[in-house]
Amino acid sequence: MATEREVMVRALEALDADIRDLQSGRRFVRGGGALGDPSWLRDLSSGLGLSAAVYGDLAEEHQQAIDDAVEPPVEPPKPPSGALPPHVQVGPATIFVEPGKVTLEDGKVLDASNDVRVETGHEIAAALRASESGDVIEVADGVYRGGEWGFGPWSAGRTAVRPNGAPIRSVAIVAAAGTRPTITDIKIGGRIDVAGGGGIDEILLRGFTHQNSANSPTPIIVYKGARVGMLRIYDAETAHERQASWGGYGSKWALIRAEGRARYDIRRILSRGAQEHIVYVDCPGWDGAGCSVFAEITCEKPTGRTAVQITNRKDYNPGPSGSGDLYFADLALWTEAGGGGFGLTVAGHLGNVYGYGRFDYRGTLGAMVFWSDAGKGLHQFDDGYTIGDVVLDWTMTIDAPHSTYEPIQLDGCRSVTFNGPLEVVTSKSMAINDSHPHYGGPIDCGPVRFAHPIIAKRPDGSPHPAPYWRGGKVATPRVIEGVAP
């Protein structure tokens, strides 16, 4: 009687021979009829007494070999530049803001004595009203209210609008050197896609502390229905007027909540916690005019739900789909407790996703999810996927010993490639779940590949027995050709 080891050796030898025949084209004919009839494998299993479980594993290996031979894996796309798009440089200041006063480039001073629309606290809105394309507004130290940008009546001191409903175009608002002014409650609206609809075509905010007031959920809001071009936020910190509000976190969303459509370039953000998210935006790239960037976002304190969240839900938020590539880089995220979520969530996006630098996560939720968000009616490509190709070049470290969810969830992506090393600590039954139902949606991913072995451990430091699941069970990660496992 053959031992179990001898049975497995004979079965694998037969499988290897079949794969060689398959790859040389001698056994199977492409097109017409069934491909790769595994009757030989059933016969062998029966004759050698292999268990159903062993037969199932061998049959899966056999079918994977057929898939690879008949449809060779397509290499995922690489970013055009191989790096993040460059950040925008600004020129010298042309308009100067200080508490109670706005000074234009020609030396003219606007204040309440000569312009009834210069309202104390809303000096930045007054400077925006006076600005032209290319202006750089320099803001002295102090606390300022943001007001309503891109919409609202021309006569109101709190609004930043252009004459005849023209959009605000290519204006930078920067902190004066050596200062960090505070801006509270920026409200963005209007529509650049409608003649006379106001809105903002492009604006940059650099060097501010962004704070919500006691009754506002977030420092920056893009209202539902708004159509904005590019919103850039650089070198920002978040703060709260009243820490006891919003469940003791001080804000619901630490930096921005955008139900309106825009593109984003958000870099170098220090978050001091939020009840839910730091950045939560819907459908970035609605206008098809380019990519969005989210880089160097760091949690000094935890968020109660997903730290950085991108959604593309057509049922909840009807309108154009998000498009263009998404770039993420150097994220250090921390989430605790709360009502669900991950460090990074991409719930649908009709474009590719790229990751650079580092991705570091700690907390009790999950680290990262790309998914089709069951029941939320996401926009889809013609081939049914809800996210394009995901190429992650970053080094990933995930410390989630007692996480609510599997640390990484994948669903609905056309392909996913992990080019960088990955270390994860978790007590969950798997480190990477590439399957549904669990916490994904109804759409399986295309090929998922790894350039390095997954280093997965239990909280006690022992090796994790099931680092990768696909199709609802433990699977062997597919290693990129030419890279040693």
Alpha carbon separation from 188 to 120, 216, 255, 333, 455 (Å, rounded):
20, 14, 13, 27, 44
Q: pLDDT confidence of 82, banded at 50, 70, 90?
A: low
Determine the distance from the C-alpha atom of residue 243 to the mean position of all C-alpha atoms in its chain, rounded to a whole number.
27
The residue-averaged pLDDT of 359-364 equals 96
When computed from its CA atoms, the radius of gyration of the chain, rounded to whole angstroms, is 27
The tokens of 396 are what?
Answer: 């990933």
Over residues 265-303, the pLDDT tens digits come to 999 999 999 999 999 999 999 999 999 999 999 999 999
Over residues 339-350, the pLDDT tens digits come to 678 999 999 999
Q: Which of 33-42, 148-157, 236-245, 282-291 has the highest mean pLDDT?
A: 282-291
For 92-138, give the DSSP string. --SEEEETTEEE-TTS-EE-TTT-TT--TT-HHHHHHHH--TT-EEE
**pLDDT recorded at residue 484:** 36
Q: What percent of the chain has pLDDT over 70?
A: 78
Quickly tell me which residue has 């995220």 as its tokens: 333
Backbone conformation region of residue 198, classed left if phi is above 0, alpha if psi is from -120 to 50, else beta? left
**Range of lowest pLDDT (14-28, 167-181, 233-247, 424-438):** 14-28
Q: pLDDT confidence of 485, banded at 50, 70, 90?
A: very low
Strands 292-305 and 326-340: parallel
The CA distance from 38 to 40, in Å, is: 5
The CA distance from 431 to 418, in Å, is: 14
Q: Which of 228-232, 428-432, 442-446, 453-457 has the highest mean pLDDT?
A: 228-232
CB-CB neighbours of 430 under 10 Å = 24
Could you tell me which residue, 248 or 311, shows the higher pLDDT? 311
Q: Which residues in 275-394 belong to E strands, given as ranges?
A: 277-282, 292-305, 308-311, 326-340, 344-347, 353-363, 368-371, 387-392
Burial bucket for residue 47 (CB in 10 Å: 0-12, 13-18, 19+) = exposed
Predicted confidence (pLDDT) at residue 32 exceeds the cutoff of 50: no
* Backbone angles phi and psi of 233, in degrees to 5: -135, 115
Could you tell me which residue, 464 or 69, shows the higher pLDDT? 464
Predicted confidence (pLDDT) at residue 309 exceeds the cutoff of 60: yes
The residue-averaged pLDDT of 309-331 equals 95
Asked if 214 contacts 251 with a C-beta cutoff of 8 angstroms, the reply is: no
The CA distance from 60 to 42, in Å, is: 12
Over residues 411-447, the pLDDT tens digits come to 899 999 999 999 999 999 888 888 665 555 678 889 9
The residue-averaged pLDDT of 193-197 equals 95
The alpha-helical segments, DSSP class H, found in 112-203 are 123-130
The residue-averaged pLDDT of 112-127 equals 81
